[in-house]
Amino acid sequence: MNKIDEFFAEVRQNIERLGNDHDLQGLSRILLREMTRYKYSYNFTWMGRPIIQLPQDMVAMQEIIWKVQPDLIIETGVAHGGSLIFYASMLDLLGGEGRVIGVDIDIRAHNRTEIENHPMSKRISLVEGSSVDTETVQKVKEFASNSKKALVVLDSNHTHEHVLKELEMYSPFVKQGSYVVVFDTLIEDIPDELLGDRLWGKGNNPKTAVWEFLKTNDRFEIDSVASDKLLLTVAPDGYLRCIKD
């Protein structure tokens, strides 16, 4: 075994130990709960735009993008556009003609302006409409018609019903070796009092949708390595690897 292989073998052992350290995993959940009180994920930007994600998850997404080498990234939920710009910048580093599609039921005018005026806008297409509306999905299909390898990120309405529909409608875009990443599965693990006046909460959230989806779909499995190594993630059980076409 050469030195590089030795290093990554050690990393794999570290990650396995992290996953098996129940005390440390418990501490991470406590920290995430307390961070949520301060909207910690709001503190970060990417190339000038609010990204509203944990830095750890963005590092994980960078690793996935490098491994998968997608030519299309579809994200539901646009907000300020920071994550769209992040994905576009990653595709820019890969080279080629890769594009990002952002889907949202309400793309605010000020956010649209900032996204469209950003240097990374050359790789971004915006689709306004409910992510689970058949007309919206058809528009995404048209954008995706020439794609060979897509990666899907779900981060819009966080109710069980909505996310389950998204999983059913967008998972067919993903082929073996790529991922569907479902953000904010953490909702299942934090007190409802921290969520404010939301439609989702314990028992009704992206994680419960993932569990339901996997009962009848054998094309995907949870990539537990992602959560184990991050410790701090908004997507426990949310990194879904496609294992067959």
Q: What's the pLDDT at 106? A: 97
Using DSSP's 3-state secondary structure scheme, residue 141 falls into helix
**Mean pLDDT, residues 24-45 taken together:** 94
Residue 196 in this model has a pLDDT that exceeds 90: no
Mean pLDDT to the nearest integer, 150-173: 98
Please report the DSSP string for 82-116 in residue order: HHHHHHHHHHHHH-TT-EEEEEES---HHHHHHHH
pLDDT digit string (tens) for 50-68? 999 999 999 999 999 999 9
Q: Which CATH number fits domain 3-242: 3.30.70.260, 3.40.50.2300, 3.40.50.150, 4.10.110.10?
A: 3.40.50.150
Task: Please give the Cα distance from 25 to 15 (Å, whole number).
Answer: 12
Q: How far is CA 130 from CA 73, 138, 151, 209, in A?
A: 18, 12, 19, 18
**144: confidence class by pLDDT, cuts 50, 70, 90:** very high
Using alpha carbons, select from 179, 200, 173 the residue that is nearest to residue 189.
200
Q: What's the whole-model pTM score? A: 0.96
* % pLDDT > 90, the chain: 96
Q: Tell me the percentage of the chain whose pLDDT exceeds 70.
A: 100
**First CA to last CA distance, the chain:** 33
Q: How far apart are CA 200 and CA 65, in angstroms?
A: 29
Q: Which pLDDT score, from 0 to 100, does residue 147 have?
A: 95
Average pLDDT of the segment spanning 171-196: 94
Residue 90 has pLDDT above 90, yes or no: yes
Q: How far apart are CA 30 and CA 27, in angstroms?
A: 5
Distances (CA, A) of 79 to 72, 103, 115, 149, 167: 19, 10, 10, 25, 20
The one-letter amino acid code at 241 reads R
Tell the burial category of 194 from Cβ atoms under 10 Å away from its Cβ (0-12, 13-18, 19+): middle
* Lowest-pLDDT choice from 141-145, 162-166, 169-173, 196-200: 196-200
Work out the average pLDDT over 164-189.
97
Which residues sit opposite 242 in a β-bridge? 220
Please say if the pLDDT value at position 173 is more than 90: yes
Per-residue pLDDT tens for 102-140?
Answer: 999 999 999 999 999 999 999 999 999 999 999 999 999
Domain boundaries, given as residue ranges, for the chain: 3-242
CB atoms within 10 A of CB 73: 29
**Structure-block tokens of residue 204:** 């009704």
pLDDT value at position 195? Answer: 86
Residue 77 has pLDDT above 90, yes or no: yes
On whether the CB atoms of residues 41 and 63 are closer than 8 A, the answer is no
Is 56:44 a contact under the CB 8 Å cutoff? no
Q: Which helix (H) or strand (E) holds 136?
A: helix 134-143
Query: Which of 7-21, 38-52, 168-182, 189-203 has the lowest average pLDDT?
Result: 189-203
Sheet architecture: strand order including 124-128: 124-128, 99-104, 72-76, 150-154, 179-182, 239-242, 220-222
pLDDT at 194 over 90: no
Give the pLDDT confidence score for residue 192 in this predicted structure. 87
93-103 tens-digit pLDDT: 999 999 999 99
Residue 69 zone, left/alpha/beta (φ > 0; ψ -120 to 50; rest): left
**What is residue 126's predicted lDDT score, i.e. its pLDDT?**
98
